[in-house]
Chains A and B, each alone.
Chain A
Amino acid sequence: MGEIEIVLPAASSAAVSTDGKLVGLLIISGLITLLVTCLIGLFAVRYRRGSEASRDRLPNWFAHDLETVWTLATVGLFVAIFAWAASQDFALAVPPEESVEIHVVGKQWMWKAEHPGGQREINELHVPAEETVELVLNSQDVIHSFYVPAFRLKQDVVPGHTTRMRFHTEKIGTYRLFCAEYCGTQHSAMIGRVVVMAKEDYADWLTRQPEGDDLKEDGKKLFVAKGCAGCHYGSSKVRAPRLAGVYGSQVPLSDGRLVTADDAYIRDSILQPKRDVVAGFEPIMPSFAGALTEGELVSLTAYIRSLAVTETNR
C-alpha cells in the first residue's frame, strides 16, 4: 500500500484560488450538514413518543416567517457562492501578455506534446515554472481530457475541435497527468507526468532534446510529400492561391465574406476546403481529412504560419 495521500500539492495559480473555494464550500456545507444532523438527532430524542417535552401549539411566526427566512437565506447564500466562484472565471479569462504555447495531441492511449522549438515528448510534459503556459489541444480519435490534479484543471480534448488550456505554473515538481474522459480499453493507462522546472532548467532541457525537426521544417516536408506544393507552389498549372503572407491576413472568399486566416481557418481549409473558397478560385482542392494525423496538421499549420513572416509576396 502506497503512502496515504490526502492533500494535493497546489502547483498552479488556479490551484491556489480553487483551493480557496473548495475550503470555503467545505466549511459551509460541513456546517449545514452538521446543523441538519443535529436537528434530526435533537428532535428524534426530544420528541420521541411519550417524552416529557412540551408539544404546545406552535407560535404563529413559526409557520410563515420561518419559511420566508430560510428561503431567502438559502437564495442569498447560494447566489453568493455562485458569485464568488464566478469571479475566479472572470479573473482567469483575461488573456496573458505572453505565454509558452505547446501543442498536445491526445490519442488512444497516449499524450504527445510538441514544444515550440519542435521538441517532442510522449506522456510527459515539461514546462517552465512561473510562466503562463497555453496548451493547444487536439484529439486524433475520441474525446480525451487533459487532467493535472495539482493544477486543479482539466480540459476535454475533442476531435474536430481545437481546445485550449491555460495555466500559470507556480511550484517546481513532478505531478500526475491523467486522461479524465473515458476513452476506451486502456483509458486508465493514458497517464503520465507533468514536470514543472525552473526556467533555466527548462531552457536547458529543451536544448538537450534530440534535434527533432523544428515544427515548420516538418511542415515544409509534409507540404511537398502530401502534394500541397503541387498546386500551391511555383509554376504549377493548377490555379491555387499562393500561401506566402496568407497567415494573419484578411482573405476575401468567393461568397463575399472576408475572414481572418488564423489557425482555425488554415485547419478548416485543409480539412474542409469546399467550405471557405478563396475568391477567384475554383473549389477543386480535395479534403485531407483522414489523410493527415493531428500532429501533421499542427506541423503544416506551423509551416504556413512561418510563411507569413519569412517571405512576403508582392
Chain B
Amino acid sequence: MSDIPYRDVDVQGEKPGGRLMEESYLGEKFSIWSWLTTTDHKRIGILYLLSTTLFFFIGGAAATLIRLELFTPAGDLLTDDGYNKVFTLHGVVMVWFFLVPVIPSVLGNFLIPLMLGAKDLAFPRLNLMSWYLNIIGGGFAVWAMLAGGVDTGWTFYTPYSTAFANSHVSLTAIGVFISGFSTIATGVNMIVTVHTMRPPGMGWFRMPLFVWAIYATSLIMLLSTPVLAMVLTLLVTERLLGLGIFDPNRGGDPILFQHLFWFYSHPAVYIMILPGMGVVTEVITCFSRRRVFGYAAMVYALLAIAVIGFFVWGHHMFTSGQSMYASLTFSFLSFIVAVPSAIKVFNWIATMYRGQITFEASMLYAMGFVGLFTMGGLTGLFLASVPVDLHLHDTYFVVAHFHYIMVGGMVSAFFAGLHFWWPKITGRLYPETAAQIAALLMFFGFNLTFFPQYILGNIGMPRRYHAYPDAFQVWHVLSSAGAVILAAAYLMPLGYLVWSLIWGKRAPSNPWRASGLEWETDSPPPKHNFLTNPTIEGSVYDYHPAQEPRREPADD
C-alpha cells in the first residue's frame, strides 16, 4: 500500500500560482498526546465524534436489551430492577452524552470556523475543556452503571430518586451535572465565535443556516443548562444531606422538582433538534441545487422556537394535579411553538420545488428527516391537547413521539451531516451505494420500530413497564423486529466509513459542488483552515442566480 492514510502525499509542495501548501490538520502530528492536547477545533470535533459514537453504541446496547425483554409479555430476560436500570442507562446516555453534544460538538465544532472563514473557535482551550468535561461526566455515568446502575429513569422524579431509590443516583447526577458545564462551555464558545469572528462581508443575514441553528441552540444551552445544574444540586443535597426540598416527609414538595426539571428539559429537547434542522437545510439546498426558500423565515423560526421553547414546560405536567388554567396556558403555548416548526417543514419542501435533485445518501437522510420530523411534531399536538394527553401521557405514544423527533429527526440529520461533510473531514469519499442502502434500511427499520408504539400507547400501554398484558404483544413483536433492522442499519456506516478511511477515493475540495466557505479549502483542511482569506461573494446558497434557476444540470 503506497498510500499513507491522512497524509496528502500526492499534492505538490506548491500549487500553481506559487501558493505554499500547508500540511492538513490530520497529517500534522500523529501521537496520541498531540490529539489529547490539541486545541484545533477540527481535531476536537474528531475527539467528540469518537466519544459520541462510543456513547451511541453503549446506549444502543441498552436499547437492544429493552427490545429483547419486551419481545414477550412476561418479564423473563432481565429482572425488574435490571430492566429499570437498563432503560435509565439508555435515556441518560442517549440524551446527555449523545443527542445533546452530537451535532453541535462534532459537526458544529468542525464546521463553524470553516463556515465563517475563521482559523478556530473564539476560545480553543475552552473547547478542549468542554470535551474533557463531557468525558469526565460520561465517565461518572459509566462508573455508576458498572457499580450497579441507577433506576430512576432519565427524569429522576422525586421523591423516588431522593428518598426511595437504592441505586447510584448521586453518582449519575454528578456525571450529568459535570457534562452540563461542557454544554455551557460549548454554547459560550459558539455564541462568541458567531458574534466576533464573522468575516467582513458576512452580515447576520448572510450566514449559512447551519450557523444560525448552532447559534440558536447555543443560546438555549447557555440559558437552560444552569437550571439543570441547580435541580441536580438540590437533588443530590436532599439525597446525601437529608435536607427537605422535594420529599414531603421532610417538608418538601415533589412537584417543585418537576417544574425545575422540565424548565430545563423542554428547552433541552430543542437543543436536540435545532442543530439537526441546520444540517438538513444545508443538505437539501445543495442536492436540490437551489437557494433556500424563505431564508429570513427560517432564521426567525429558529429564534422563535428557541424563545417560546422556554415557556411550554408545563405540558409535561398535565396529570400532576396542576391547575386547569396553568395546563391550558401551557397547552396554548405548545401549539404556538409548533408553528415555526411547521414553517420550516414547508420551506424545506418549497426549496426542492423546481430544483435539480439528486439522491446522495445525505439527501435521502434529509428527506427522511422532513417526513419523520413532521410526524413527530404532529403527534406533539396530540400531547399538547390537554384531554388527549390525560390519556396518552406516560404511555408508549409519548415514547413514539419523541423517538420520531430525536431518532427519526436528529439521528437522521446527524447521519446526513456526517455523510455530507465526511469528504471534508477525512479527505476521503465514502462508497455511495452502500450509504444509500444504509439510509433506506434505517428509514424502514425506524418506522417498523416506532410506529407500532403509537398504537400501543393509544391502546393504553404505559411506558417503563418490564412486563405487560398479552394483548399488547403483537405490537411489541413488530417493534422489536424493527429494532433488529435498525441495529443492522446503524452498524453499516461504521463499516463502510472506516473502510473509506483507507480505501476510499481521495476527495476533491468540493465534491458536491456545494456553496459555503467550508468547501473553498482543501479536503481535509490545512491546520489553519484557509491558506488565503476566503472571499464572500454573493449570498449563501448561491446555487443559481436569484430568481433564476439553472436550466442545465451541466451548469452546476
Contacts and interface: CB of A to CB of B under 8 A. Distances in A.
B374 A178 contact: no
Contacts of B321: 155-156, 158, 161, 163
Interface stretch (B22-30, B350-358, B522-530, B532-540): B350-358
B388 A25 contact: yes
A213 to B, nearest CB: 27
B269 interface: no
Contact of A182 (B157, B289, B467): B157
A160 interface: yes
Interface residues of A, number: 86
A164 to B, nearest CB: 8
A33 B374 contact: yes
A86 B328 contact: yes
A299 B463 CA distance: 33
Contacts of A5: 459, 471-472
A71 B466 CA distance: 43
B192 to A, nearest CB: 32
B14 interface: no
Interface string B499-529: 0000000000000000000000000000000
B193 to A, nearest CB: 30
A53 B549 CA distance: 12
Contacts of A67: 294, 297, 343, 347
A70 interface: yes
B379 A82 contact: no
B342 to A, nearest CB: 5
A176 interface: yes
Interface stretch (B222-230, B274-282, B331-339): B331-339
Interface string B359-399: 10000000100110011001101101111101101110000
B80 interface: yes
Given A158-B320, A185-B80, A188-B467, A37 B335 contact: no
Given A14-B387, A149-B391, A154 B319 contact: yes
Contact of A36 (B345, B462, B472): B345
Interface stretch (A40-48, A196-204, A225-233, A256-264): A40-48
Contact of B342 (A6, A48, A74): A74
Interface in B284-327: 288-289, 293-294, 297, 319-321, 324, 327
Contact of B390 (A28, A154, A188): A154
B460 interface: yes
A314 interface: no
Contact of B335 (A66, A70, A81): A81
A1 B255 CA distance: 39
Given A1-B473, A39-B349, A44-B352, A25 B385 contact: yes
A8 B164 contact: no
Interface string A17-46: 110011001001100110011011001100
A32 B381 CA distance: 12
B352 A289 contact: no
A234 interface: no
A108 B387 CA distance: 27
Interface in A45-94: 47-50, 53-58, 62-63, 66-67, 70-71, 74-75, 78-79, 81-82, 85-86, 88-89, 92-93
Contacts of B342: 70, 74, 78
A85 B386 CA distance: 7
Given A44-B357, A78-B335, A21 B459 contact: no
B466 A187 contact: yes
Contacts of A54: 354
A89 B324 contact: yes
Nearest to A72: B339
Contacts of A85: 331, 385-388
A22 B81 contact: no
A83 to B, nearest CB: 9
A187 B84 CA distance: 9
Contacts of B320: 156, 158
Contacts of B384: 82
B259 interface: no
Nearest to B294: A67
Nearest to A50: B553
A43 B353 contact: yes
Nearest to B80: A185
Residue picked from A71, A143, A156, most chain B C-beta under 10 Å: A156
A150 B254 CA distance: 28
B350 A141 contact: no
B265 to A, nearest CB: 15
Interface string B132-152: 000000000000000000011
Contacts of A86: 328, 331-332, 386
B335 A79 contact: yes
A179 interface: yes
B382 A188 contact: no
B391 A153 contact: yes
Contact of B355 (A6, A43, A142): A43
Given A71-B339, A149-B460, A289-B249, A89 B473 contact: no
B374 A47 contact: no
Residue picked from A50, A152, A188, most chain B C-beta under 10 Å: A188
B268 to A, nearest CB: 19
Cβ-closest 4 pairs across A and B: A160-B248, A149-B460, A2-B470, A85-B385
Given A8-B460, A47-B357, A153-B391, 19 more contacts: A3-B471, A7-B459, A18-B387, A18-B390, A36-B371, A48-B359, A49-B289, A55-B355, A74-B342, A79-B332, A85-B386, A88-B386, A89-B324, A154-B391, A160-B248, A182-B152, A182-B160, A182-B463, A183-B160
Interface of B: 73, 75, 80-81, 84, 151-153, 157, 159-160, 163-165, 248-249, 251-255, 288-289, 293-294, 297, 319-321, 324, 327-328, 331-332, 335-336, 338-339, 342-343, 345-347, 349-350, 352-359, 367, 370-371, 374-375, 378-379, 381-382, 384-388, 390-391, 393-395, 455, 458-460, 462-474, 477, 547-551, 553
Interface of A: 1-8, 14, 17-18, 21-22, 25, 28-29, 32-33, 36-37, 39-40, 43-44, 47-50, 53-58, 62-63, 66-67, 70-71, 74-75, 78-79, 81-82, 85-86, 88-89, 92-93, 108, 141-143, 145, 147, 149-150, 152-156, 158-161, 163, 176, 178-189, 272, 289-290
15 contacts: A5-B471, A8-B460, A25-B385, A43-B355, A82-B332, A86-B328, A142-B160, A143-B254, A154-B394, A160-B249, A161-B248, A161-B321, A178-B460, A180-B395, A187-B80
